Amino acid sequence: MRIVAELQTITARHGKAARMKAGQRLKLINTHGCQVVDTWAFCDPHLSEYMSMEHSRILLFNAFARKGDTMLSNKYRQMLTLEEDNSSGWHDTMVAACSPELYREFGIDSPPHRACSLNLIEGMAGLGLEIPEQPSPWNLFQHTFIDEKGGLTYPMPEARPGCYVVLKAECDLVIAFSCCPWDHPRLPVNGPDGQINDCHFETL
Amino acid sequence: MRIVAELQTITARHGKAARMKAGQRLKLINTHGCQVVDTWAFCDPHLSEYMSMEHSRILLFNAFARKGDTMLSNKYRQMLTLEEDNSSGWHDTMVAACSPELYREFGIDSPPHRACSLNLIEGMAGLGLEIPEQPSPWNLFQHTFIDEKGGLTYPMPEARPGCYVVLKAECDLVIAFSCCPWDHPRLPVNGPDGQINDCHFETL
């Protein structure tokens, strides 16, 4: 008998967190395609140690993790390994989560716009947890291109409907996701139509 | 009569912090050349708002700030403008400050090695201040090259002796520096000889 885990929904424009035990795997599915999922991980139960982009980049010798790579904590603990990836393979580490302050910079502040930075807080609160700070996110499925002078551009996203990544927890942790609500046409990270969609995950 | 401000020393392998008022300028001199200076800025008096690499990159549309660019806080407040720069013009934003945990990863942990992450804490303590968290630093004079696949390499540093940057404070802030003690030959960010030197700064 195969035990089928429940497929969980990350509602479009919202966040969700889940606990993972060391060794456990999670499949994150880009159900409709072209949806960026901001992702964070915090050590469980000591949330002040968390997955860090600026620490991971040092030992990856790369701005991006690819299949087989492991993301590290702010103390260089192994946290999440990208075990499978049938997306375009681009997962941004360069930019902060969208926030009310960023929407204000783009002239969007009334009515208030949903934001990944707040979705992180809401997602963690769903498990009764409070985060001590806002780490920079791992923006799964977001393609940020860096040219040789450091210039950042955002090519049209290539994540096909149903593509997925499998993440393996290397320690006990809390993982948090946000289906990024960014829909400003200047940076079409979620596709040219500005459509924001649900994604799904299951533990394997 | 010209009022000459006191030239302050950032001792090799150590940190130092200073208060700046909005509009004030500071000249940071790479006295002996090839010395990376990890740099942080915190809003004064609310230190939980600080200069953020991942927020600055979004509105710079670049991984690096160059002459004329302004670094932003984690709330997109303008903090430090790079008004003058006669160095190579490369100032890394990609990698975390060196830390005891990083030295451990490179097999250096006995005796304990000095580290930028601790220099930040010491420098701020010199002003009686305690930081709420460890933001990713602006690594002045550090040349990190990013190739089109995101690969990070560290070309030999090009900062000549006596070259400098002038930073303008755009708000009241506390600036903190660390003369990076990194001397591992694998990443010769402070020059091929592993020499770590003093730097100096003055307010203008």
Pairing of strands B8-10, B173-179: unpaired
> Between the CA of residue B4 and those of B86, B165, B204, what are the distances in Å?
21, 18, 8
CB B143 within 8 Å of CB B90: yes
Report yes or no: B153 at the A interface, CB cutoff 8 Å.
yes
Share of chain B above pLDDT 70, in %: 98
pTM: predicted TM-score of the whole model, two decimal places: 0.96
B25, amino acid identity: R
**A-B C-beta contacts closer than 8 Å:** 91
Q: Is the dihedral of CA B178, B182, B187, B192 positive or negative?
A: positive
For residue B170, what are the contacts with CB-CB under 8 A and spacing of at least 6?
B22, B70, B77, B78, B79, B80, B81
Structure-token pair, residue B86? 């006669």
pLDDT average, residue stretch A75-95: 97
Q: Which DSSP letter does residue B59 get? A: H
- How much is the pLDDT for B2? 54
Identify which of A95, A132, A151 has the shortest CB distance to residue B58.
A95
Q: How far apart are CA A67 and CA A71, in angstroms?
A: 11
Residue B13 phi, psi dihedral angles, 5° rounding? 70, 10
Report yes or no: A149 at the B interface, CB cutoff 8 Å.
yes
Each residue's pLDDT tens digit, A124-176: 999 999 999 999 999 999 999 999 999 999 988 788 999 999 999 999 999 99
Given a cut of 90, whether residue B157 has pLDDT beyond it is no
Interface test with A, best of B38, B58, B64 (most A CBs within 10 A): B58
- How much is the pLDDT for B109? 78
Share of chain B above pLDDT 90, in %: 88
Complex confidence, ipTM: 0.96
> Between the CA of residue A14 and those of A21, A118, A198, A203, B82, what are the distances in Å?
24, 9, 9, 20, 37
Q: Are the Cβ atoms of A152 and B61 closer than 8 angstroms? A: yes
Q: Is the dihedral of CA B13, B18, B22, B26 positive or negative?
A: negative
CB B159 within 8 Å of CB B88: yes
Each residue's pLDDT tens digit, A14-41: 999 999 999 999 999 999 999 999 999 9
pLDDT average, residue stretch B110-115: 88
